[in-house]
Structure 1
């Protein structure tokens, strides 16, 4: 009986290793495109971890771009079953925090200006307040989606300037993918508005979306 239980545990362990890619395969088959995503619960845990890291690094607001970029690169490595040590995440943070903070500062200033316009439009002091408010909300949406796309395009070798400049080309080449980016931003806003403690999970899901959207076309 004890031997039977031991054999069953060994079989279950072999199945888990086969599915996760951490051990030998049980049968010959083509390699998975995303071996790190085979273990769904482990992927969910990694998404939550990335969300927490993004909140931790991006707590100063101006550091949010590099927090997102480092999180995206970390999760992409994890899904590809590459080296995904947390040390590499912090290496990306150090490599891009200077330029990322400049991008974050500019984005924060624009967001504050748009928020003031929305507040003034709602106050009734400005003629055409409804139009101004709509423009303000649209501007915030464009800013947020653009920031998410730029974070996904950032690479330590090319820097933030190239990442920001690539945003229009990315949008033009994949208009359908733009809808997914908008949905990711909307998810973060809605979940955080409903329950603020869900912010790390929402940000982790947004990071996963940035990793997945370009890959879907392949």
Structure 2
């Protein structure tokens, strides 16, 4: 399996050969697997745009699942060089919003409960505090990864219920990918803690991770 870097290198070589007449014309050049990602600077700009859109939609917090799902679908369209006008992002937001509020509420409640458990474990009031604290951190990681997986799997046809039901199979099929998503979620938390406005860039990078991790080259 060729890597995206090899494909881009081959595409650049083909353009040079076409320009100097020593090789096939561009019409004979194989199509890149992710043609929308060929321009690194343009892709970076689109990631920032997605981060801004997701941040705006997720301001009420409970709308974060719908914002992530719409952002993932938008960036997939852009990377595939499909029609990625912003109006399609808003169409996905409208489709995902109301059912996604239930998912957002469940994630928010679970997060608050786990944070309270971690705080109590640190206070020393609970017996077995270190164990309770560890369980709390594992729970937070599970919530974050599940939310990113659900956003990756959601579509208007599948819906949130189908996306959530598909999470266990998706995790079993790509355990390493689940850890990569956990790292992406941790990155968002760290950069936001350092400087809150960096949440826009961080969440955009997390959406890019959700899109790119499943399609990465893997060893067989």
Give the TM-score normalised by structure 2.
0.86
Q: Which residue of 2 aligns with 1:129?
A: 129
Q: Which residue of 1 aligns with 2:12?
A: none
Q: Which residue of 2 aligns with 1:80?
A: 80
1:217 deviates by 4.5
Alpha-carbon distance in structure 2 between the residues aligned to 1:151 and 1:84: 18
Alpha-carbon distance in structure 1 between the residues aligned to 2:126 and 2:183: 31
Q: Which residue of 2 aligns with 1:157?
A: 157
SS at match of 1:59: coil
Q: Which residue of 2 aligns with 1:58?
A: 58
Unaligned runs of 5+ in 2: 1-14, 19-24
1:162 deviates by 0.4
How many residues are treated as equivalent by the alignment? 196
Q: Following superposition, which runs of at least 4 residues in structure 1 exceed 2 angstroms of deviation?
A: 25-28
Q: Provide Cα deviations, 1:139-184, integer angstroms capped at 9, x if missing partner.
A: 0011011000000000001100000111110010111211211111
Alignment map for 1:14-93 (pairs within 5 Å): 26=26, 28-93=28-93
Alpha-carbon distance in structure 2 between the residues aligned to 1:105 and 1:179: 24
Alpha-carbon distance in structure 2 between the residues aligned to 1:103 and 1:81: 30
Q: Which residue of 2 aligns with 1:4?
A: none
Unaligned runs of 5+ in 1: 1-14, 19-24
Alpha-carbon distance in structure 2 between the residues aligned to 1:63 and 1:206: 16
Alpha-carbon distance in structure 2 between the residues aligned to 1:207 and 1:163: 17
| Aligned-residue CA RMSD (Å) | 1.5
Q: Which residue of 1 aligns with 2:22?
A: none
Alpha-carbon distance in structure 2 between the residues aligned to 1:26 and 1:159: 41
1:27 deviates by 5.8
Give the TM-score normalised by structure 1.
0.86
Q: Which residue of 1 aligns with 2:6?
A: none
Alpha-carbon distance in structure 1 between the residues aligned to 2:27 and 2:94: 42
